[in-house]
Amino acid sequence: MASMLLSRQLTCCLQQNSRLLVSGHRYISQAAAKIDVDFDYDGPLMKTEVPGPRSRELMKQLNGIQNAEAVHFFCNYEESRGNYLVDVDGNRMLDLYSQISSIPIGYSHPSLIKLLQQPQNLSTFINRPALGILPPENFAERLKESLLSVAPKGLPQVITMSCGSCSNENAFKAIFMWYRNKERGHNNVTKEELESCMINQPPGCPDYAMLSFMGGFHGRTLGCLATTHSKAIHKLDIPSLDWPIAPFPRLKYPLEDFVKENQQEEARCLEEVEDLIVKYRKKKKIVAGIIIEPIQSEGGDNHASDDFFRKLRDIARKHGCAFLVDEVQTGGGCTGKFWAHEHWGLDDPADVVTFSKKMMTGGFFHKEEFRPNAPYRIFNTWLGDPSKNLMLAEVIKVIKREDLLNNATHAGKALLTGLLDLQARYPHLISRVRGRGTFCSFDTPNDATRNKLITIARNKGVVLGGCGDRSIRFRPTLIFKDHHAHLFLNIFSDILANFK
């Protein structure tokens, strides 16, 4: 299949969608430039309901081995291409969820297939090293070509990991070690510290905390769960830590109609952040760091103004807390900038930035001062995977060559404009339309309506995702273009018109 994808020629171009915008019911699709129809299909094609009979059989098989209740359907990745996901029953769907926001340049991208076919790259994929002790000869070079080529401003150091949770978990550790080293005056560790840490007691295990926000999601490992507050099912039955939780602004929409109210809401939340830092210090628990997402994703696509983040950054600096920006879901270009926090316009936006998903690998960037002062302090067997760095370097080349950051801005505007139009026509079904780049979402009246809309859309050939209590989120790939937005909007307009 891979060689077929590469050898087929550009044989067709998308025909201009002739449907016109009539009474607000149809969206004009600009003709796409010539595209490789072997890479991106020209539309959905449905053969069964989803999940279909083959998916249901496979669900039954998998459920006998593990709890498979979260599975939506089984996929045929050999046939999936571009923005389209094909399932095992032959249904072809426009994917606006892209594996929970983790596919950067579409399925089976020719550039990545070519990369895997090159003989000199085989060893990178076959021989996975324990990077902390036995890295390959070209590892530093690969990091420079990939991650360091897009490093956030002021963060020259990077450590790779395998997923978002372990990225945040180890970032917490780096922050705690940094803070303790400051308190210690950069002196040597004492015998008491070495002995007490072995039995989970201070001073070796200091009573530090990370401040997080209601609605935030930072992972499912133990430390990350203490900062995750999006859904109860994530946290139920798991022991946790007494770490402060601040309110995240709940903005009112449309933003231009609620400027004063939203400013007051953000001021209230910032005041609470400072109060919590002081309160915890009084009870001998130090807030060593603050963690926040540029857009709370799992918690409901909750936004705050750039000014809110600027002021939060100032609070962190004022109180000597590290400022950790979790870009696991927002990073990689979907907001129109490579890192969503770049929208804030700060010279010093973060001390640590975590990443995963569209970045192909997990890990975190950090300032020099957060560098571990001894080996094995930030460590595990894999510490990421060199093959992912190789693929990321190619992804970055494609992003630059095809100007995909500007594409995210342009396609996102088409999507958001269409959603606002649908909100005006179906206010009983859609509210609080919001977004940055293609990172868009809206609210539905309740969870049942949201889930029903997602199911209907899937059976019409569109994959969407939910978040929060009643939101629908859009997480398309970076190659999602205007005509894909118009295609979706036409389908979804019909769904809303006939929704009962």
The per-residue pLDDT for 38 is: 61
The question of whether 381 is a catalytic residue gets the answer: yes
DSSP-derived pairing of the beta strands 84-86 and 439-443: unpaired
- Residue by residue, pLDDT tens for the chain (500 residues) are 443 443 333 233 333 333 333 334 566 554 444 445 468 999 999 999 999 999 999 999 999 999 999 999 999 999 999 999 999 999 999 999 999 999 999 999 999 999 999 999 999 999 999 999 999 999 999 999 999 999 999 999 999 999 999 999 999 999 999 999 999 998 899 999 999 999 999 999 999 999 999 999 999 999 999 999 999 999 999 999 999 999 999 999 999 999 999 999 999 999 999 999 999 999 999 999 999 999 999 999 999 999 999 999 999 999 999 999 999 999 999 999 999 999 999 989 899 999 999 999 999 999 999 999 999 999 999 999 999 999 999 999 999 999 999 999 999 999 999 999 999 999 999 999 999 999 999 999 999 999 999 999 999 999 999 999 999 999 999 999 999 999 999 999 999 999 98
Q: What is the pLDDT of residue 18?
A: 32
Query: How far is CA 462 from each of CA 99, 391, 480, rounded to the nearest angstrom?
Result: 13, 27, 13
> Helix %, strand %, coil % for the chain, to 5?
40, 15, 45
Q: What is the pLDDT of residue 347?
A: 87
**Cβ–Cβ < 8 Å for 395, 462:** no
Catalytic residue among 217, 323, 480, 492: 217
How many angstroms separate the CA atoms of 82 and 72, rounded? 20
User: Contact 455/440 with Cβ under 8 angstroms?
Assistant: no
pLDDT of residue 186: 82
Provide the whole-model pTM: 0.93
Tokens describing residue 424: 């005006």
Which of 309-312's residues contact partners 24+ apart within 8 Å by CB, and which partners? 309/341, 309/344, 309/346, 309/349, 310/344, 310/345, 310/346, 311/266, 311/270, 312/270, 312/273
- DSSP assignment string, 392-456: HHHHHHHHHHTTHHHHHHHHHHHHHHHHHHHHHH-TTT-EEEEEETTEEEEE-SSHHHHHHHHHH
Peptide bond into 349 cis (omega under 30): no
For residues 415 and 437, what is the distance between their CA atoms, to the nearest angstrom? 9
Instruction: Give the pLDDT score at 29.
Output: 53
217 in catalytic set: yes
Q: Name the region of 24 (left: φ>0; alpha: ψ -120 to 50; beta: rest).
A: left
Catalytic residue among 242, 307, 318, 381: 381
Q: Which of 359, 477, 492, 339 is nearest to 421 (CA)?
A: 492
Residues 6 or more apart whose CB falls under 8 angstroms from that of 365 comprise: 147, 151, 152, 155, 157, 158, 352, 353, 355
> Residue 187 has what pLDDT?
87
CA gap 393, 150 in Å, rounded = 10
pLDDT for 21: 37
Q: What is the C-alpha to C-alpha distance for residues 471 and 50, in angstroms, rounded to an integer?
A: 21
pLDDT digits (tens, 9 = 90+) for 235-281: 999 999 999 999 999 999 999 999 999 999 999 999 999 999 999 99
Q: Which of 357, 358, 388, 481 is catalytic?
A: 357
**Backbone dihedral angles phi then psi of residue 296, each to the nearest 5 degrees:** -65, 115
Distance, in Å, from the CA atom of 482 to the CA atom of 486, rounded to the nearest integer, reads 6
Instruction: Please work out, in degrees rounded to the nearest 5, the angle formed at the alpha carbon of residue 298 by the alpha carbons of 88 and 465.
Output: 30
Q: Provide the pLDDT for residue 466.
A: 98
The catalytic residue among 38, 40, 95, 326 is 326
Active site residue 357: yes
